C-alpha cells in the first residue's frame, strides 16, 4: 500500500460553517476528517500533519515555505508522495518556492485546495483532495512515481507548480498554466503526459534549500508612470532584486530617465529581470526598439516565467548565494526545474 503524507497549512478547504454565526471558521483536524471519511477508506495510507494555527494563505511568508519544505524533507523516506493543503490566494507562490527548494526531488508533491469549504454541500474540496492523493501515490509499472515534481491539482487539471497563476476567484477552475501544458487531466481516468514531466536524477539525494532574501520588489510599468515612483522603488534601502513587469514582449517607455534609473540600479548591483505583463507568451528583448534600452541598462530577460516563479526563484537564489550576484544572474537565466522555456 502506498503511503502519502497530507500537510495541512490551512485555506478555504479546511473551513466549516459555524452554526451560531454562520461565518466560515477553520476546522480542527478531527472535524475535517469527519467531513472526509474517504481519506481513510481507499487503498492509500494517509497520515496528516497540520500547521498550528492554520493559516489564511494571505499571511503566508517565506518562513512558512521553509516549514513546509522541512516537513517534506524530514519525512521524505517514509512516504511515497506528499499533498499540501493550501489557500488558493498564494498557492502559486508557495508551490513555486517549493519547486526550487526541493532539489533532486523524485517524489510527487501535490498542492491543492478548494474554492468552497469542505463543509459546504457543493464544495470542490473532496474531488480536489482525493484526486491529489491518488496522483501523489501513483506509480508506473516499474514502481517509479509518475509525476515526481511539485505540482498543483485543481478542478480536473494537474499543472507544474512553477508554471501556474491563480486566474479566477469565483470559478472552480482557479488556476491555469498559460505557457506549459497540463501534466495530467482527470476524468473517469487520470490521463498522464509523461513526456511533459520534469525528472530529476533518481540517484541524487534530495537537497533542501531554505535561505530566502526578501529584499526584492515588483515594479509594474504603466502608461504615465512617474520617475518619482520608479526611483522610490529602485532606491529602496537594501534592495537586491526587482521583477520589472513590462508591456507585451518585454517593452517599456523609451523615456531617457527610465533608462538612467534602471542603469544606475544595475550598476549598484541590483538585479532586474524583465517579466511581461501578458499571461501567455515570452519576453523577447530587442524585438522592438522600445526594449533596447532595457538591454543596454543591463536588465535580464525573464523569458516566459510567471511572476510567482520569478519572485520566489530570485528570493531563494539571492538568499543561497548572497555574495555572488554573478551566479544569481546566471541561474536566473537558466531553467532549473521546468520554470522557463529558453529558445536555443
96-107 tens-digit pLDDT: 999 999 999 999
* pLDDT tier, 29 (very low <50, low <70, confident <90, very high otherwise): confident
264-278 tens-digit pLDDT: 999 999 999 999 999
CATH class of 2-208: alpha beta
Mean pLDDT of 74-81: 98
Statement: residue 87 has pLDDT above 70: yes
Q: Residue 47's CB: how many other CB atoms inside 10 A? A: 12
Q: For the chain, give the percent of residues with pLDDT over 90.
A: 83
Mean pLDDT of 329-341: 97
Residue ranges per structural domain of the chain: 2-208, 216-332
Determine the pLDDT at residue 237: 97
User: Do 2-208 and 216-332 fold alike per CATH?
Assistant: yes
Determine whether 12 is an active site residue: yes
Statement: residue 343 has pLDDT above 80: no
Read off the C-alpha cell for 132.
Answer: 491529489
Determine the pLDDT at residue 202: 83
Statement: residue 344 has pLDDT above 60: no
**Check whether domain 216-332 has CATH 3.90.1150.10, yes or no:** no
Q: Would strands 165-166 and 157-160 be described as parallel, antiparallel, or unpaired?
A: unpaired
DSSP 243-288: EEEEBTTTB----HHHHHHHHHHHHTT-EEEEEES-SSS---TTSS
* Lowest-pLDDT choice from 64-78, 96-110, 279-293: 279-293
Statement: residue 176 has pLDDT above 60: yes
Mean pLDDT of 114-143: 93
Which of 226, 190, 21 is CA-nearest to residue 108? Answer: 190
Determine the pLDDT at residue 124: 93
Q: Which helix (H) or strand (E) holds 327?
A: helix 325-332
Determine the pLDDT at residue 323: 87
Give the alpha-carbon dihedral of 182, 186, 189, 194, to 10 degrees: 20
Give the alpha-carbon dihedral of 335, 182, 85, 74, to 10 degrees: -40
Q: Are 252 and 221 in contact (CB under 8 A)?
A: yes
Exactly one of 9, 12, 90, 276 is catalytic; name it: 12
Statement: residue 241 has pLDDT above 70: yes
Statement: residue 121 has pLDDT above 90: no
Determine the pLDDT at residue 311: 98
Determine the pLDDT at residue 26: 78
Q: For the chain, give the percent of residues with pLDDT over 70.
A: 100
Determine the pLDDT at residue 276: 97
Q: What are phi and psi of 232, to 5 degrees?
A: -60, -40
Amino acid at each position: 500500500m502506498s503511503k502519502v503524507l497530507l500537510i495541512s497549512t490551512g485555506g478555504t478547504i479546511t473551513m466549516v460553517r459555524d452554526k451560531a454565526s454562520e461565518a466560515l471558521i477553520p476546522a480542527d483536524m478531527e472535524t475535517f476528517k469527519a467531513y472526509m471519511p474517504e481519506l481513510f477508506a481507499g487503498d492509500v495510507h494517509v497520515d496528516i500533519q497540520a500547521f498550528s494555527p492554520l493559516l489564511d494563505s494571505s499571511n503566508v511568508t517565506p518562513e512558512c515555505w521553509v516549514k513546509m519544505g522541512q516537513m517534506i524533507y524530514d519525512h521524505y523516506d517514509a512516504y511515497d508522495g506528499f499533498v499540501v493543503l493550501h489557500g488558493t490566494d498564494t498557492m502559486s507562490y508557495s508551490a513555486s518556492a517549493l519547486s526550487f527548494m526541493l532539489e533532486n526531488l523524485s517524489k510527487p508533491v501535490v498542492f491543492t485546495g478548494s474554492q468552497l469549504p469542505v463543509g459546504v454541500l457543493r464544495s470542490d474540496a473532496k474531488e480536489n483532495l482525493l484526486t491529489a492523493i491518488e496522483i501523489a501515490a501513483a506509480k508506473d509499472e516499474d514502481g517509479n512515481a509518475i509525476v515526481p515534481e511539485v505540482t498543483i491539482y485543481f478542478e480536473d487539471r494537474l499543472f507544474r507548480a512553477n508554471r501556474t497563476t491563480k486566474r479566477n476567484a469565483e470559478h472552480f477552475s482557479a488556476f491555469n498554466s498559460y505557457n506549459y501544458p497540463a501534466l495530467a487531466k482527470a476524468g473517469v481516468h487520470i490521463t498522464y503526459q509523461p513526456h511533459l514531466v520534469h525528472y530529476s536524477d533518481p540517484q541524487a539525494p534530495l537537497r533542501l534549500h531554505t535561505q530566502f532574501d526578501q529584499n526584492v520588489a515588483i515594479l509594474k510599468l504603466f502608461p504615465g508612470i512617474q520617475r518619482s515612483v520608479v526611483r522610490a522603488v529602485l532606491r529602496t534601502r537594501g534592495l537586491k532584486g526587482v521583477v520589472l513587469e513590462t508591456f507585451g514582449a518585454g517593452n517599456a517607455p523609451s523615456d531617457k530617465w527610465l533608462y538612467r534609473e534602471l542603469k544606475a540600479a544595475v550598476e549598484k548591483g541590483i538585479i532586474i529581470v524583465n517579466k511581461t505583463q501578458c499571461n501567455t507568451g515570452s519576453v523577447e528583448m530587442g524585438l522592438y526598439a522600445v526594449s533596447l534600452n532595457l538591454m543596454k541598462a543591463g536588465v535580464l530577460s525573464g523569458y516566459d516565467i510567471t511572476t510567482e516563479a520569478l519572485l520566489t526563484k530570485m528570493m531563494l537564489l539571492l538568499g543561497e548565494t548572497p555574495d555572488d550576484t554573478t551566479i544569481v544572474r546566471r541561474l536566473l537565466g537558466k531553467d532549473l526545474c521546468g520554470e522557463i522555456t529558453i529558445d536555443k
